Structure 1
Amino acid sequence: MAQIMLNCDLGENESLEQTEQLLAQIDAANIGCGYHAGSPDKTRASIERALKYEVQIGAHPGLALDGGRGQALPTPTEFRDLLEVQIGSFQSSAQALGTRTSYIKLHGSLYHAVETQPTLAAVYIEFLQQQTPAIATFALAAGKFARMANQAGLRVFQEAFADRAYMPDGSLVPRVEQGAVLSHAEAQSRLKKWLQTGQFPTRGGQPITLSADTLCVHGDSPGALELIRDIQAALKTNKIERSASRFS
């Protein structure tokens, strides 16, 4: 792991001041499309600020209900329509500001659905394949969807999560469960172990080995800005460079 990108979920319900503070510290911003949280105006403002800090922008589409984390999943047709509407709106905002969308990262339930629902995964792969110019995707490191997307010839950045607890199968502990979001101290300790061993501790099981292209901190996690700064220091100590140049 010679290089890694720091990314953050933004453009949701955080203040614009917090958005800007986080953008000043990261390499790639997963910006909400104004449906699961935030608004179209917040999306545009977040893109504009990302350009100020020369941060790569990614569209972060999600389900409109339950903050994007509900149990009810869309049908394949509904999922395709959701992607068309939300990505289309995001790309229009980006183009109006003189930039382009570098990647897509699904939000919440959709991110996990493509790991477990082959029909939805197939819809998403087809959508990505039809994008011109080509567009990358972020996907769960060592997950099923990352393998499927790679096999389909797509550009995939495997993602690990600095502030979320893991299950022994490599999936994330559901947010509804206690301890799903790590405390600052827990995140720091686990990051140190990962950088030294390549392994993430898991809940109730053996550690898992994870290799990642990008590391995520959620913008709404407690102490997100402080955690990102701690990650930067740990990467520097371990001589790991930060880079988003592979998008170009």
Structure 2
Amino acid sequence: MLLAWLVLHQWQAFSRSDQALSDFEIFRAALLAMEKVSAERGPMNAALGEDVPVPAQRIAALRKAREESDASLRDLDAAIEASHCQECAALYVTATHTITTLAEARKHADDVLLVPRQTRSPELLNNAVNHMANVIPIIAGIADGTIEDIVSGDAAILDDLQMARLAAALREHAGLLGSRFTGALASDRQLTEQEQQRIFNSEGRVEQLRTLLASHAGNHPALAPEAVRRVGMVYGEAGLAYVTKVYRRAKRPTGAGITT
């Protein structure tokens, strides 16, 4: 969608500099890894909504998502290794830290999946979500660490990089907003006050990022208007309307009556 278009546009605009192109490949691989690891929370949340033993189809979906995340992180490692940037040694350390942190988050989720559904506490479920969410800023740091070198090759590319970064952040926070309901939906109970506050915070962040992206897009005449419209629809009115609907149901004393 918008992110894919921006990546292609940046690649073409930046082909003049070999080193900058190499740095950009790291940036691109990091954003794609963010997407895959973020998407992994979906089947994880779905599995957390099941009782033990977790149905085979849920486990299969989670395994497939993990394989896709792992493949994207291997691509990121390869991009860093293929580059000769001054920061590559530090970026490689960060990439290794990402893999370790992700493995720990998965282990935490797997441990929760062994606990009978009725005895999974709100803290246990929310911690599983938070552990996975904590992986994303580490990968984002790799993307951010390449921007200065990329821009040094062509300052005109900065706006494109910022838009791609905003699009990635918007996608992540929109996904995280949905994950904020996992604890309540998986336990079929009412949202706690702390969970409600986290939902408010995430919703505000999504709206902020959507506004920033729209503002940048308005200053980018080459950007496809259909891509901007779709982003506004998916992460704006339609997406937030669905969140509001689920939120109202999840506030009921009896719970939302739906699962993850």
Above 0.5 in TM-score?
no
Q: Counting strand residues as a fraction of each chain, which structure ranks higher?
A: 1
Q: Which is richer in helix?
A: 2
Decide which structure has the larger Cα Rg and report it. Answer: 2
TM-score (structure 2 length as normaliser): 0.26
TM-score by length of 1: 0.27
